[in-house]
A and B are shown apart, each in its own frame.
Chain A
Amino acid sequence: GAVVSQHPSWVICKSGTSVKIECRSLDFQATTMFWYRQFPKQSLMLMATSNEGSKATYEQGVEKDKFLINHASLTLSTLTVTSAHPEDSSFYICSAFLPGQPNQPQHFGDGTRLSIL
C-alpha cells in the first residue's frame, strides 16, 4: 500500500537551532501534503497544506516565517522550524494525499518528535 516516510523520527537540539523535517511519498506522487502538530494529550492540529510547485497555505495563527514549507517535487515536502524555541517542542506529523482514493485520502508519516532544550 501507499507509504509515507518521515525523517527524522526524533530531534533534540538547542534553542535557536533550525530543524528540517522531510516527508516523502515512497510509491506514489503526492501533489498535496499536510503538516500537523500535536501537543501531548491533544489532537492533531493542521498547520499548513503543502502544494507541489506553489506556496503553502497556512492555517490561521501559524507563522509562515517560522515554519517554512517547501514542496519542490511530487514526492517530497519539507518543514523547517526556524530558530526553534522550547515552546516549539511537539510531535510533527505529515500526511500525503493519495489521488483516486476518496475513502482513504491521507496517508500519514510516522511523525517527528521535536524537543528543544
Chain B
Amino acid sequence: GQNIDQPTEMTATEGAIVQINCTYQTSGFNGLFWYQQHAGEAPTFLSYNVLDGLEEKGRFSSFLSRSKGYSYLLLKELQMKDSASYLCAVRAFRRVDAGNMLTFGGGTRLMVKP
C-alpha cells in the first residue's frame, strides 16, 4: 500500500516563506503532485515532480528526493489568500487500469496571519 504523511496544520505570517513537507512510502512511484484546496472547493493543481530536484513556478516551488521518499512545497511572499489546505498526492503504478490513480495525503491546513 501507500503511506503519505504531512503535517496537519501550519501557521505563517503574511510576506514570509513557509515549507510544507511530505514523506511517502510506495512502490512503483510515478510522480508526486501538490494541490491547493480552499474550504468547500475542489483541489487545484500546483506542481508536479517525477525526477529529483526543484521545480519552480512563481511564488511556489516543489522539491523531490525519490531516494528519501520526501517532497516539500515552498511558498514565498505569503499572501492572505494562500490560507488553504495543501495536499500532497503520489501516483504509483498499482493496477493496469488505474496507472494514473493518485493517493492523497491528509493535507496540511495553512493559516496565514497578518
B25 within 8 A of A: no
* Interface size counted on chain A using CB atoms at 8 A: 25
The A interface is mostly helix, strand or loop, or mixed, namely strand
Which of B50, B104, B105, B109: most chain A CB closer than 10 A? B104
Give the contacting residue for A46; candidates B31, B44, B101, B105; CB below 8 A. Answer: B101
A43 touches B105 (CB 8 A): yes
Could you tell me the distance in whole angstroms from the C-beta of B31 to the nearest C-beta in chain A?
7
Q: Is the CB of B42 within 8 A of A43?
A: no
> Closest approach, in angstroms, between the C-beta of B45 and any C-beta of chain A?
6
Query: Measured between C-beta atoms, what is the minimum distance from A61 to chain B in Å?
Result: 13
A9 to B110, CA, bound (A): 25
B104 contacts A43, CB within 8 Å?
yes
CB-based contact A42/B106 at 8 Å? yes
* B21 contacts partner chain A, Cβ-Cβ < 8 Å: no
Per-residue interface assignment for chain A, residues 31 to 59, with 1 indicating a CB less than 8 Å from any chain B CB and 0 otherwise: 01010000001111110010100000100
A109 to chain B: which residues have CB within 8 Å? 42
Given the complex of chains A and B, what is the CA–CA distance between A84 and B113 in angstroms?
40
The 13 sampled A-B contact pairs (Cβ below 8 Å) are: A34-B102, A42-B107, A43-B106, A43-B107, A46-B102, A46-B103, A46-B104, A93-B42, A103-B48, A104-B48, A105-B91, A105-B102, A111-B42
